[in-house]
Amino acid sequence: MSLRQEHEIHTRRKGRNVGVGLMLAAFVVLVMALTYVKITQSDFRLPDAQGTATQEPDS
Amino acid sequence: MTDMTDPKVFEREAQLGDYFALLKPRVMQLVVFTALVGMLAAPVSVHPVIGFASILFVAIGAGASGALNMWWDADIDAVMLRTKGRPIPSGKVEPGEALGIGVALSGLAVMMLALSANLLAAAMLAFTILFYAVVYSMWLKRSTPQNIVIGGAAGAFPPVIGWLIATGSFAIEPWLMFALIFMWTPPHFWALALFMRSDYDDAGVPMLTVTHGRPATRRHILAYTVLLALLAVGTAFTAIGGPIYLVTAVVLNALFLIGAARIWNRNENDSEADNFAVERKFFRLSLWYLFLHFGAILAESALRPWGLGGWS
**pLDDT score of B272:** 86
Residues sharing a CB contact under 8 Å with residue B105, sequence separation 6 or more, in sequence order: B23, B60, B61, B63, B64, B67
**pLDDT score of A4:** 65
- On whether the CB atoms of residues B149 and B183 are closer than 8 A, the answer is no
Q: What is the mean pLDDT of each run of 10 residues along chain A (59 residues)?
A: 68 87 96 94 75 52
The C-alpha atoms of residue B89 and residue B77 are separated, in whole angstroms, by 7
Q: Which residues of A touch B (CB under 8 A)?
A: 1, 3, 7-9, 12-13, 15-16, 19-20, 30, 33-34, 37-38, 41
Cβ–Cβ of A20/B10 closer than 8 Å? no
The C-alpha atoms of residue A59 and residue B162 are separated, in whole angstroms, by 44
Cβ–Cβ of B49/A37 closer than 8 Å? yes
**pLDDT score of A59:** 43
Residues sharing a CB contact under 8 Å with residue B82, sequence separation 6 or more, in sequence order: B196, B199
In chain A, % helix, strand, coil (3-state, to 5) comes to 70, 0, 30
CB of B45 within 8 Å of a chain A CB? The answer is: no
Q: What is the mean pLDDT of each run of 10 residues along chain B (312 residues)?
A: 54 82 93 97 95 98 96 93 91 94 98 97 98 93 88 93 97 96 95 84 85 92 97 95 96 97 92 90 96 97 86 76
**pLDDT score of A12:** 79
- On whether the CB atoms of residues B77 and B83 are closer than 8 A, the answer is yes
**Which chain B residues are Cβ-neighbours of A15 within 8 angstroms?**
15-16
Q: How far is B50 from chain A, CA to nearest CA, in Å?
A: 6
**pLDDT score of B310:** 80
Nearest to B180 by CA among B231, B237, B248: B231
Cβ–Cβ of B10/A3 closer than 8 Å? no
Cβ–Cβ of A34/B56 closer than 8 Å? no
**B12: closest chain A residue by CA:** A9
Residues sharing a CB contact under 8 Å with residue A8, sequence separation 6 or more, in sequence order: B10
Interface contacts (A, B; CB < 8 Å): 34
Which of B9, B10, B18 should one mutate to test binding to chain A, selecting the residue with the greatest count of A CBs within 10 A?
Answer: B10
Distances (CA, A) of B3 to A4, B6, B109, B112, B250: 15, 6, 36, 39, 61
Q: Which of A9, A30, A41 sits opposite B10 (nearest CB)?
A: A9
CB of B251 within 8 Å of a chain A CB? The answer is: no
**A5: closest chain B residue by CA:** B4
**A9: closest chain B residue by CA:** B10
Q: What does pTM read for this prediction?
A: 0.88
Residue B44 carries which side chain, given as an amino acid letter? V
**pLDDT score of A15:** 85
The C-alpha atoms of residue B222 and residue B126 are separated, in whole angstroms, by 33
ipTM exceeding the 0.90 mark: no
The residues spanned by each domain of chain B are 1-170, 172-312
Query: Does domain B1-170 fall into CATH 3.30.70.270?
Result: no
Other C-beta atoms closer than 10 Å to the C-beta of B153 total 17
Cβ–Cβ of A16/B16 closer than 8 Å? yes
Which of A1, A5, A11, A12 should one mutate to test binding to chain B, selecting the residue with the greatest count of B CBs within 10 A?
Answer: A12
**Which chain A residues are Cβ-neighbours of B49 within 8 angstroms?**
33-34, 37
φ, ψ for residue A29 (rounded to 5)?
Answer: -60, -40
The C-alpha atoms of residue B188 and residue B280 are separated, in whole angstroms, by 10
